[in-house]
Amino acid sequence: MALNVVMLGPPGAGKGTQAERFARTHGVPKISTGDILRDSVNTGTELGRLARKTMDAGELVGDDVMIGIVGERLERPDTRAGFVLDGFPRTVPQATALDTIMKGRGPLVVVDIVVPEDVLLRRLAARRICGTCGVNALIEWTAACGICGGALVTRTDDGVEIVRGRLKVYHHSTRPIVEFYSGRPTFRVIDGNQPPDVVTSSMDRAICEASSAHGSTKEVRL
């Protein structure tokens, strides 16, 4: 059975790190909307050209374009055994479209990583990125970027007030996605305020259980 996973959680919850670990362990692609958006723009696809035009104008890429780009990515052969989506869906229309894309592809497991706001603020203040390629540093990267070898630096947009603003935006715009999914038997809530390895183990158990769930349990906290 394919392992189709959507990762949810606020900035600093660790969803990128956990998505990367799960994808590597289970041999499925981690699909970050930022990565596939850049890929579509760089390869000059029709949707990529539309996205570039929008971004060049300083505007957010709309639902239709994002849905199209993600839909194209999920058609690639490497997703047949499953995938981990990080950063999509971000709106209810995107979530509704993903349901349509997923018809006939097996269950969609949705994992929401929850972390108290004070912990998020501390994490984000200490978060680092690669100064060369810009990717967020994984916890296990202690000295250099694990992708390109570049030096790790502190993000300039992780000041306390900026972070508080980003969390407010998240709760306003993205929490409705949690409400959209929370009644499903394949929805799971994970306590992200634990050591990363504990979160990884909890997530593995939750996803494997939820992928074969047929009951009506609203959520399981691990």
Active-site residue set: 15, 90, 127, 155, 166
Rounded CA-CA distance 120/86 in Å is: 18
Nearest by Cα to 47 from 33, 32, 27: 33
Three-class secondary structure assignment of the chain: CCEEEEEECCCCCCHHHHHHHHHHHHCCCEEEHHHHHHHHHHHCCHHHHHHHHHHHCCCCCCHHHHHHHHHHHHCCHHHCCEEEEECCCCCHHHHHHHHHHCCCCCCEEEEEEECCHHHHHHHHHHCEEECCCCCECCCCCCCECCCCCCEEEECCCCCHHHHHHHHHHHHHHCHHHHHHHCCCCCEEEEECCCCHHHHHHHHHHHHHHHHCCCCCCCCCEC
Report yes or no: 29 and 78 within 8 Å, Cβ to Cβ. Answer: yes
